[in-house]
Structure formats: structure tokens, C-alpha cells
Amino acid sequence: MTMNKKDGPVLAIVVPCYNEEEVLLESAAILNRFLQSMIDSAEVSADSYILLVDDGSKDRTWSEICALHREDLSFRGLKLAHNRGHQNALYAGLMEARSDCDLSISIDADLQDDVDSMAEMVRKAKEGANIVFGVRNDRTTDTVMKRTSAEYYYRILNALGVQTIPQHADFRLMDRSALDALSQYREVNLFLRGIATDIGLKTDRVFYSRKARTAGESKYSLKKMLLLAEDGVTSFSTAPLKLSFGFGAAADGAALLLLFRAMRDRKSQAGIMAWICFMQSLQFYLSGILGTYIGKTYTEVKDRPRYYIQERTGEK
Ligand code: UDP
Ligand code: MG
């Protein structure tokens, strides 16, 4: 890890905020108390700051952010013109912080994730980790519906070959090199926790238990959750496009069986059905081939970096 300042790494705490007027001031105070204690104990540089990203809120979130900044320069704000969703707001904040920090930590405005774990994240970064994942080991405060849907969702992702860290949302430390790598992912359909595992580099984890929201309601509507779930699959797996091959093989098998029966029982009806099945299987195969090509084009259009150069010899 490279450091700008001799007094420790510059830490940027990045917080996406959407209609968070009810919790923002309280959360900001807690985060600032934490940050000042880290600065006082020389764990991080005095230039460290909290970056609040207003994701096109319709309430007083932005004016609260402005007031915080007027009172204390540890707070910085970024306002997005429209509501672009959690992932994009967070990405905007991380890219803003990228040129002006050594370490970034992303955390939700409701502080459901454990603020104190951030000290451990910083420690792990100092030990050499580029990315530190916050992992929940207790979700009893989430609704049963949210818990079970999350569990099955991650199982499906795994089955489709999408690498994710179970029980990790977006509470995560990323150092400058990880942010540089992230900046090279140009996809529009963001699934940051998937990209964070895709980046590679040196990773570590810290464990914590997830709390209930201190105030306000979840800003993740069912629709937003479903869209995020979809991005998780389609941004990282083209397996569904190839489903047709399976259907094709099954239809082929059925055709063979029917043909066998038609010949054995000398029934023309079974013969016709065998023919239909065979033709159907051809269609499935053909759309499978189409799917494969579309899948390849899709990954090309995204223009992801093929690799990331972490270091070059002779460089500082
Ligand atoms: N958020 C956002 N834009 C949105 C929805 C949510 O920036 O369109 C932020 C929100 O302010 C919070 C974080 O994303 O800081 C996570 O949202 P929330 O806590 O409502 O989600 P949950 O914990 O219920 O999954
Ligand atoms: Mg929350």
C-alpha cells in the first residue's frame, strides 16, 4: 500500500444516500466519531474524510449533507442528478474518491453494518489486503423473506458459476489499486460485489453481525432488489443463454425413444411424433448456438479489461 501522507493512509468512507433524511445526521455523527478516533490514534491520515453521495433524493438529504460540510470539512458531498440506484451511487462515490484516497470503505447510510469493523478492515489493508469484504455472520435482524431469498439467490449464483462472497453485500474496503481496477470495468449494469471478487488482487474478510436500521425504511423496493438480482446473474454468467442445448438434447432423446417404439410396434403415429420431436430439438440447438453467440457479443461489448497490472518492476 502506498501512502500520500506520512501520518497514515488517507481513508475515504463512501456512503450512498437515498431519501435518508431520517438517519443521515445520526449516522454522520457516528461515522465522524469513528473517523476522528482513527485519526487521533494515527491509524489514518488527518486528511481522511466521509463522502456522502446523494442519489437523487427527493427529501432533505442534500441540504443535510451541505450543512454537515459547512460545519465540518471531514464531510464531503456528491449529488447525482437522478436516482440511479445504490450500485451506481456507490460507484460514483468510489470513482470520486479514487484520486484522493489510499483506502476507501463503502457503507450504507443506515449503518446496519458494523462501524467498528472498519478499524479491522484498515488493519487488514495495512497487512497487505487490497480488498477486505465485510461478511455478516448473523442476519437475524433482517426479515425472514429477505434472509431466505438472499440465501437461495446466492446458491443460484454459485450454481451458475458466479463467484460471490456469501453474506457479503457492499460493506467493503477497497484500496487505491482495487479502485483503479474497478474503474476499468465499463459495464453499465453494475453488480459491484461480483466485480469486487472478479478483480482478484489480495483479499481478506472481517466478520460482523448485521443490525437493524436505526431509522427510516429500507430504500430497496422489491423491484430494485429484483433488478439487482438480475444484474448479478446476467453481468456474470451467460449460462442461461445455453439452456437451449439441454432442451435440445432432451428432445433428441425423446425422438430416439419414439423412433425405437415406432419401429418395434410398427406404429406410424409414434414415427410422426418422433419426427416432430427431432425437428423441435433442432430448433432448440439452433437457438442455443444463437445464445452462445449473443453471449460472446455481450461480453465483448462490455469491453472489460482482460487483466489488471498490479505493479511493474522499477516502479515505486
Ligand atoms: N440507496 C441508494 N439509492 C437507491 C436505493 C438505496 O443510494 O436507489 C442507498 C440507501 O440510502 C442506503 C443503501 O443504498 O444507504 C442501502 O439501502 P437500504 O438500507 O435501504 O437497503 P437494505 O439494507 O434494506 O437492503
Ligand atoms: Mg439497509
Q: What is the pLDDT of residue 316?
A: 46
Q: For a ligand 1 pocket test, name from 94, 171, 219 the mutation site with the most ligand atoms within 8 angstroms of its C-beta.
A: 219
pLDDT exceeds 50 at position 5: no
The ligand placed nearest to the CA atom of residue 227 is 1
Question: What global pTM score does this model have?
Answer: 0.75
pLDDT in tens, 104-131: 999 999 998 999 999 999 999 999 999 9
Cα 213 to middle of ligand 2, angstroms: 6
Closest ligand 1 atom to residue 16 Cα is 7
Q: What is the pLDDT of residue 23?
A: 93
Cα 106 to middle of ligand 1, angstroms: 12
Which residue, judged by its Cα, is nearest atom 17 of ligand 1?
A: 219
The ligand placed nearest to the CA atom of residue 108 is 1
Q: What is the pLDDT of residue 314?
A: 55
Which region among 124-138, 179-193, 273-287, 301-315 has the lowest average model confidence (pLDDT)? 301-315
When comparing pLDDT for 210 and 69, which is higher? 69
Which region among 40-54, 95-109, 115-129, 260-274 has the lowest average model confidence (pLDDT)? 260-274
Q: Which residue has the cell 497514515?
A: 8
The ligand placed nearest to the CA atom of residue 18 is 1
Closest ligand 1 atom to residue 84 Cα is 8
> Is the CB of residue 70 less than 8 Å from the CB of residue 48?
no
Mean pLDDT estimate for the chain: 85
Dihedral of alpha carbons 248, 251, 257, 262, sign: negative
Cα 112 to middle of ligand 2, angstroms: 6
Which residue, judged by its Cα, is nearest atom 24 of ligand 1?
A: 218
Task: Report the amino acid identity of residue 27.
Answer: S
Cα 108 to middle of ligand 1, angstroms: 6
Q: For a ligand 1 pocket test, name from 13, 18, 147 the mutation site with the most ligand atoms within 8 angstroms of its C-beta.
A: 18
| Nearest-angstrom CA–CA distance, 222 and 213 | 17
In the predicted model, what is the mean pLDDT of residues 294-314? 64
| Nearest-angstrom CA–CA distance, 110 and 272 | 63
Cα distances (angstroms) measured from residue 75 to each of 110, 135, 211, 268: 17, 26, 24, 80
Grid coordinates representing 258 are 419414439
> Is the CB of residue 18 less than 8 Å from the CB of residue 57?
yes
Cα 81 to middle of ligand 2, angstroms: 22
pLDDT exceeds 60 at position 306: no
Q: What is the pLDDT of residue 151?
A: 82
Grid coordinates representing 276 are 416432430
Grid coordinates representing 7 are 501520518
> Is the CB of residue 176 less than 8 Å from the CB of residue 101?
yes
Q: What is the pLDDT of residue 127?
A: 96
In the predicted model, what is the mean pLDDT of residues 291-313? 66
Residues with CB under 6 A from ligand 1: 16-18, 20, 55, 83, 85-86, 89, 108-110, 112, 218-220
pLDDT in tens, 192-242: 988 999 898 999 999 998 777 777 788 777 888 888 887 777 777 777 777
